[in-house]
Amino acid sequence: MQENGLVAIVKRDCPTCVMVAPVLQQLEAKGALTVYSQDDPGFPEGMNVADDTALDTSYRLDVEIVPTLVRFQDGTEVERTYGWDRAAWEGLTGRDDLGVDLPAFKPGCGALNQEQDRLAELRIRHGDTPMVSRLVPLGAKEDAIEACFERGWSDGLPVVPPTQERVLAMLEGTGRAADEVMGLMPSNLDTCTVEKVAINAVMAGCRPEYMPVVLAAIEAVLDEDYCLHGTLATTRFVGPVVIVNGPIAKQIDMNGKGNALGQGNRANATIGRAVQLAVRNIGGGKPRGVDRATLGNPGKLSYCFCEDEEGSAWEPLTVDRGLAAGANAVTVFAGHGLQGVIDDKARTPEALAETFASCLRSVDNIKKFPGPDCLLVVCPEHERTFMEGGWDKARVHKELMARMQVPAEDVIAGTHGMAEGVSPKLAGKTVSKLLPTGLLIVRAGGGAGKFSGIIAGWTPGTPESSRPVTKEVRT
C-alpha cells in the first residue's frame, strides 16, 4: 500500500466500475493512484493494475462496495468514498473536473471479499477468527470422513468434517464469544467452550441458526441437577432427551407434529445429535468406556423434538417449568426409548387416564416402586378426549398421580412369583409409583391416531439421580 496518494478497488463485473474507468485513467495520468482489481488484473484496460483476485488487499481495507476510492497520507487512511458520487470523488481528490460526462451519482456493487464463503476463507487466512482449537492436518489423499471415524469422533454414522470455514460459519449462528467457557464436561471434566460445541454441531449436520438451541441444551446437560456423569456411567438405558419450546422451534423448522420423535427433520435430528457428539468428544462419554449402558437405546444417537404448542389447547411445558408462555427454552430429560400407549376405545377422560396410569405403573417393572421419572408425550387425539371431558393438563397430571398410588400388598417382593417388589414391612401402607415431581407432560404428534408414548427416565430417590433441567435459549 502506498504511503501517500489514492487507492481504488474495482471489479470488471460491476457496471459502475466500468463507467468510472475513464475517471481512474484521468486520475492516474495526473498523480499517484494504485488500482486493485478483484476479478480481472486486465481491468481497467490501459492502466497499471494490481492483481487483487486473492482479495487480500480488499480484506485489509475492509472494502464493502466497489468501486471504493481511498486517500492515504503518511501511510494512514484519511478518507474514502464508494460507488460513484462526483461531488464526493472531487472532494476526496481535490479535483473539480472528474467525469463531467457521467451522471452525478450511481451506486456501486457488492465487493467480492464480503461474499460469505470468501469472507470466511479470508478471515481464516489472515488469522482474524475467534477460533483457538488445534487444526488437525490430513494427508493429501486422506478421506476427511474416514479420518473422523479413525480418530473416534463419530457416533457410528458419518459426520460432517469440521473444517475451519464450517466452524466459523457455525459460530455466526450465535452472538456468544467462541472462547466462552460453558463449564466442565463430564466425565473427563474437559473445558467446554462455545467453539467446541460449534465443532460438534458442524459434525452433527446442524445449520448455524440451530446454535442457540444447541447451546441451551448443552447448558442443561452441564447443570448439576442433570447429573451427566451419572447418566453416562449408569448401566441403564438413558441419554439426553431434548424438548424445545417457544417460537424458535418454528423459526428453525422443527417438527412437533407427525413422526415428531422419528426421523426426517433436520433440526430435530441434528440438534439432538450435536448434544450427544459434544458429550462424546468433549467429555469422553464413549460406549463401553465411560458410557456403561447395558443395552442403551436408539435415542442415544439423537433424541430431540419440539412441543406442538400451536396445535395444543394445553399450557406448554415451559409454563409447567416456571417460565412465561412463549419463552424460548430447552428442557433436557434423561430418558429411555419410547414405550407406546395405545387406546383406540376410551371416550372419557377417566377411561383414558386408567390406560395411561396402567402403562406408567408398568415402567421398568410392574412391581418396581418407586419407578423412574417419566415424560408422557400425549398425542392430539388423546388430548382431545381429555379436553372434551373438561380436563386440562393440570387435571390430567393430578388424576394420573392419584392413580400411581397402590396398596403395598400388590407389589411386595415375592408375590405373584416375582422377586422384585417393595419390602414386606410396608404391608398395610400405600406406595407410589412416581415421586411427586416425577411426571412431565408434553403434547406432540400427528393429528391421526390414538398413539401416545412414555419416555421413562432414570431411577429416582438418590442424590446421584438426574432431574429434568430447563434452560432459556439466548437468541
Predicted model pTM = 0.89
**Average pLDDT rounded to a whole number, residues 179-193:** 95
Per-residue pLDDT reduced to its tens digit, 244-264: 999 999 999 999 999 999 999
State yes or no: pLDDT of 84 exceeds 70. Answer: yes
State yes or no: pLDDT of 461 exceeds 60. Answer: no
Q: What is the set of domains in the chain, with CATH numbers?
A: 5-125 (3.40.30.10), 144-308 (no CATH), 337-456 (no CATH)
**Average pLDDT rounded to a whole number, residues 268-295:** 96
**Average pLDDT rounded to a whole number, residues 201-208:** 98
Per-residue pLDDT reduced to its tens digit, 365-385: 999 999 999 999 999 999 999
Q: At what angle do helices 266-281 and 194-204 cross, to 10 degrees?
A: 130
pLDDT band at 134 (very low <50, low <70, confident <90, very high): confident
State yes or no: pLDDT of 49 exceeds 90. Answer: yes
Per-residue pLDDT reduced to its tens digit, 298-316: 999 999 999 999 999 999 9
pLDDT band at 279 (very low <50, low <70, confident <90, very high): very high
**Average pLDDT rounded to a whole number, residues 181-205:** 97
pLDDT at 72: 96
pLDDT band at 2 (very low <50, low <70, confident <90, very high): low
State yes or no: pLDDT of 401 exceeds 90. Answer: yes
The mean pLDDT of the chain is 95
Per-residue pLDDT reduced to its tens digit, 24-34: 999 998 888 99
Q: Rounded to the nearest 5 degrees, what angle is found at the Cα of 338, between the Cα atoms of 205 and 373?
A: 105
